[in-house]
A and B are shown apart, each in its own frame.
Chain A
Amino acid sequence: MRSPLVRQILILVALALAPGIGQAVYFRHKVSWQSPIPPSELVTVDQARVWGKNVIWVDARPDDEFASDHAPGAISLNEDRWNELLPQFLAEWSPGKKVVVYCSSLSCNASREVARRLRKEAKLPDVFVLEGGWEAWVKKNR
């Protein structure tokens, strides 16, 4: 038979856990629950720089942000105009090229989605997401 103290502790622990478990079930589809990008699909600015001209830089940010500023030679490919922009990107792609997708790192998931679609829908190999996004690129290059 359990002592009253153990029983009280168990009740308190159950009470403390209940809201957390409830939230975990209710918000299971929220963005924050997505699994992190596997390290093999991430690349840093320095790593991408080593690849030199063998890289296609893809800017996944909205049109206005791309128009405002972007990495030299970067191609705009966002999901607002995916069908229109994808052929323009594919015109630059050739086997052996590596693709590095970036977006704004501030609360932005666009580069991850664009990279996923290039891999899954277009079946392209060597597609990476830039760690730190546009802000990391600016920090290293400006």
Chain B
Amino acid sequence: MKTHIVAFALSIIISLSARAELKWEQTMIELHPTPADKQAIGHFKYQNPGKTPVHFKSVHASCGCTTAQSQKDEVPPGGTGEITATFNIGDRTGTQVKTVTVETDEAPNAKTVLTLKTIIPQQLEISPTFVFWKQGDKADPKTITVKAGKEFTVKHIKVTSSSPDFQTKVEEKGNGEFQIDVQPQETKNVVASTLTIQPEDSQKVFYATARITNAPTIQ
């Protein structure tokens, strides 16, 4: 009976493996770009170990922020190549998982999903990125907390307000933590300021917004 079970299991494994002609070196890539990088690029390498050519029918990225390209349309027997997936980081933060679906003519429904996982380093965590006062509110200061990311050392930060209508004061709390007190001159008029937050010795700039808003909308 044991022989039957093993034979059954083997037949399933063999039948499954016979379907897949393109052999992928890896279908999941994890990338760790630097804070200065604009793009993260993954190279998914493949080989055709079969005896017939394999044609790509489509290569489709899951998101507009990711492009995917195949070097060739046809992979001859024994041929190798790669799908290049380019993820545009933009102003994204945190862990981003994007997929590329590759469809070939090797078998019906022969789709391979390639996964590009990008860990975007976050030098500063700012909370909240928006402080506001309603018109007529008391012009009390509001606090923005800034914390250095796990892999970064930030000793000092520089904060600049784009408008003289808001004053800022930075307090260093130690261990890479800072407190920014933001205070409007007055709250009579609808005004706004972009607060530029820059770690010392870094080109990277972060932003927060301070604003006097209209009175609440009547619902």
Contacts and interface: CB of A to CB of B under 8 A. Distances in A.
B97 A31 contact: yes
Given A30-B99, A83-B91, A107-B63, A96 B129 contact: no
Given A8-B1, A80-B90, A95-B217, A121 B128 contact: yes
Interface string A64-94: 0100000000000011111110110011011
A79 B130 CA distance: 17
Nearest to B214: A94
Interface in A99-125: 107-110, 113, 117, 121-124
A62 B211 contact: no
Contact of B62 (A27, A31, A121): A31
The size bracket of the interface on B is 35 or more
Given A87-B207, A95-B213, A108-B63, 15 more contacts: A27-B115, A31-B98, A31-B99, A61-B64, A78-B90, A82-B92, A87-B209, A94-B214, A95-B132, A95-B216, A95-B217, A96-B216, A96-B219, A121-B130, A123-B127
B58 interface: no
B209 A94 contact: no
B153 interface: no
Contacts of B130: 90, 121-124
B95 interface: yes
The size bracket of the interface on A is 35 or more
Nearest to A103: B64
Contacts of A90: 130, 132, 192, 209, 211
B194 interface: yes
Interface string A29-53: 1110000000000000000000000
B213 A94 contact: yes
Nearest to B194: A87
A96 B216 CA distance: 5
Contacts of B207: 83, 86-87
Contacts of A96: 216-219
A122 B128 CA distance: 5
9 contacts: A12-B5, A27-B115, A30-B97, A79-B65, A90-B130, A90-B192, A90-B209, A95-B216, A97-B217
